[in-house]
């Protein structure tokens, strides 16, 4: 009876470990791939569908296995090992094939087939054990899935990253397996021991190899990585390079900040960008005879927009709402960023709030003369909600009657027609107009970065400002900011929380423009991949 109880415990535990490791592969691959390539809901949905399909295939294939404890243990070993290798396999695949989505789905399918065989094999081994029943097995497997998910999300992902979490789950599962088998006095065959040793030996060195392999192209381009960190929200990378003969600043040392592989700023051109998003709206407020005093920055954790605003006479206070504390810490402590932002975040006029802007803007009762919105482009659903009509409606409620809003609006030009505005700024302009504001798209001629200027004041004329202002002399500010009143707009939809069409529009644009300076996976690979 005692031996029987041990076998029942052994079967239940092996089933839980195997199912949990398989489910963990699905979680790791979904998170890694979605973070790397901004394919959030779409990939999660397809990935989960493939995993369940593979579970069904594994259940059918389990009939080919004789119901033996050694086979079940071997399945658990294989699942644990595959979990440890999953992120390394994806890194190698991205290096070898760039964005080969089928590799990610293959990784999940392998885990699903193996995991699908675990439960029927467990039931086959314990068919004469009255303590073993299907309902309890399902309950424990589902409970394990919840436990693995909570540990993954709140305990492992931030300190260890995707690769470290994969290895941690792998080695924990293998240790639990061996401890359980030895603790219950189960005899292990030589072949199983060999499999366990291989499963222990391979994941860590192969993970290191894949990470180094995928990062080689960065060195080939001559960029030096000054800072690289996977925060809870994004991969932050700061690079240093020397401009080549073909660049606008040959021989000049340049620094670039990337968030999830998308360029946030380059030291060679960021002054133009921040003049257009910060200084020009302040000039518009002066032109409108209502100079700005109280300022709100949503995003802008690098401190560069705050730097520009602090240099403008009359600015009294700046509230800055930034989601990622790692970005603020970098801006406050890194010598290069402090050099560029002139230690703006230490200025007593700047109040930094680590908050989600979407929820914070609905709570605050403050009113501002100027609101600067500097979020990354809406390349996924989480970001696209920050460009939604519902969000802009809340922002307008916090704006003084004669105040101005400036919005980072992605790339300016349509890729097929340079005389047409791209779908991203056109969609943002239409969305903020839909909630009761007047809005205009303008851009930097050098880098074609688009912005949207908005106000509720019906007396403000963007055309008059562009023609008469000494700041915006004529059509363009000496090549710094340009407003094209006759530019064509593509058909666009209002970006609401129910639809979020800007996410799909942004992904379409960046995929077609890959390698043009906005998106660097094709040349840098692992440097910007999630840790």
Q: What residues are annotated to the active site?
A: 374
Which string of DSSP letters, residue by residue, matches 341-365? Answer: HTTGGGSTTEEEEES-HHHHHHH--
Round to whole Å and give the CA distance between 375 and 354.
14
Which residue from 219, 227, 171, 195 is spatially nearest to 17, judged by alpha carbons?
171
Q: Characterize the bridge pairing of strands 294-299 and 262-266.
A: unpaired
Cα dihedral 29→34→40→46 (10° resolution): -40
Which string of DSSP letters, residue by residue, matches 460-498? Answer: --HHHHHHH-SSS-TTBSTTS-B--TT-B--------TT
Sign of CA dihedral 375, 288, 293, 365: negative
Tally of CA atoms within 13 A in the half-sphere of 522 that contains its CB: 10
The token pair that represents 114 in the structure block? 């193996």
Which string of DSSP letters, residue by residue, matches 286-329? Answer: HHTT----EEEEEE-TTSHHHHHHHTSTT--EEEEEES-HHHHH
Sign of CA dihedral 256, 257, 262, 267: negative
Which residue has tokens 């059509």?
A: 475
User: Helix, strand, or coil here: 337?
Assistant: helix
Using an 8 Å Cβ cutoff, are 244 and 221 in contact? no
Round to whole Å and give the CA distance between 216 and 238.
16
Which string of DSSP letters, residue by residue, matches 106-144? Answer: HHHHHHHHHHHHHHHHHHHHTTT-TT--HHHHHHHHHHH
User: Helix, strand, or coil here: 32?
Assistant: helix
Burial of 452 (0-12, 13-18, 19+ CB in 10 A): buried
Which residue from 24, 122, 123, 30 is spatially nearest to 80, judged by alpha carbons?
24
- What 306-311 contacts at long range (C-beta under 8 Å, 24+ apart), as own/partner pairs, is 306/341, 306/344, 306/345, 306/347, 306/350, 307/274, 307/340, 307/341, 307/342, 307/344, 308/274, 308/275, 308/278, 308/279, 309/278, 309/282, 309/372, 310/342, 310/344, 310/347, 310/349, 310/350
Round to whole Å and give the CA distance between 26 and 47.
7
Which residue from 290, 272, 291, 292 is spatially nearest to 476, judged by alpha carbons?
272
Round to whole Å and give the CA distance between 372 and 19.
48
């Amino acid at each position: 009876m005692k031996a029987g109880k041990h076998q029942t415990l052994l079967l239940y535990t092996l089933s839980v470990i195997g199912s949990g490791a398989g489910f963990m592969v699905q979680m790791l691959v979904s998170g890694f791939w979605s973070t790397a390539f901004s394919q959030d809901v779409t990939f999660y949905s397809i990935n989960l569908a493939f995993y369940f399909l593979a579970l069904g295939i594994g259940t059918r294939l389990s009939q080919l296995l004789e119901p033996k404890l050694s086979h079940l243990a071997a399945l658990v070993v294989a699942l644990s090992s595959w979990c440890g290798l999953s992120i390394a396999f994806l890194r190698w695949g991205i290096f070898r094939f760039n964005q080969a989505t089928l590799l990610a789905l293959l990784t999940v399918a392998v885990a699903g087939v193996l995991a699908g065989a675990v439960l029927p094999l467990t039931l086959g081994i314990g068919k004469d054990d009255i303590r073993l029943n299907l309902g309890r097995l399902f309950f424990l497997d589902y409970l394990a899935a919840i436990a693995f998910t909570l540990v993954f999300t709140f305990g492992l992902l931030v300190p260890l990253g995707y690769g470290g979490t994969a290895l941690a789950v792998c080695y924990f599962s293998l240790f639990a397996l061996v401890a359980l088998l030895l603790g219950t006095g189960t005899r292990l065959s030589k072949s199983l021991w060999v499999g366990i040793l291989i499963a222990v030996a391979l994941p860590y060195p192969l993970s290191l190899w894949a990470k180094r392999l995928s990062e080689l192209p960065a060195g080939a381009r001559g960029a030096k990585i000054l800072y690289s960190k996977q925060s809870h929200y994004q991969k932050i990378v700061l690079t240093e390079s020397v401009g080549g003969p073909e660049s606008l600043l040959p021989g000049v040392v340049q620094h670039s900040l990337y968030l999830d592989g998308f360029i946030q700023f380059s030291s060679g051109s960021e002054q133009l960008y921040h003049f257009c998003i910060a200084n020009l709206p302040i000039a518009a407020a002066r032109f409108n005879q209502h100079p700005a005093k109280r300022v709100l920055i949503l995003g802008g954790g690098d401190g560069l927009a705050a730097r520009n605003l602090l240099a403008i006479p009359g600015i009294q206070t700046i509230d800055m709402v930034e989601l990622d504390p790692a970005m603020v810490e970098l801006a406050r402590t890194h010598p290069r960023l402090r050099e560029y932002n002139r230690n703006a975040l230490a200025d007593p006029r700047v109040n930094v709030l680590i908050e989600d802007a979407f929820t914070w803007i609905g709570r605050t009762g403050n009113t501002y003369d100027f609101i600067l919105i500097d979020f990354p482009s809406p390349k996924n659903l989480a970001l696209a909600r920050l460009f939604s009509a519902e969000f802009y409606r809340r922002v307008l409620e916090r704006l003084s009657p004669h105040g101005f809003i400036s919005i980072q609006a992605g790339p300016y030009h349509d890729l097929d027609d340079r005389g047409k505005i791209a779908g991203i700024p056109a969609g943002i302009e239409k969305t903020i107009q839909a909630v009761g504001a007047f809005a205009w798209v303008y851009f930097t001629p050098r880098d074609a970065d688009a912005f949207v200027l908005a106000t509720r004041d019906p007396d403000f004329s963007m055309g008059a400002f562009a023609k008469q202002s000494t700041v915006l002399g004529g059509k363009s500010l000496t090549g710094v900011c340009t407003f094209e009143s006759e530019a064509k707009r593509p058909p666009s939809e209002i970006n609401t929380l129910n639809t979020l069409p800007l996410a799909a529009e942004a992904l379409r644009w960046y995929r077609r423009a890959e390698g043009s300076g906005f998106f660097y996976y094709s040349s840098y690979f692992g440097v910007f991949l999630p840790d």
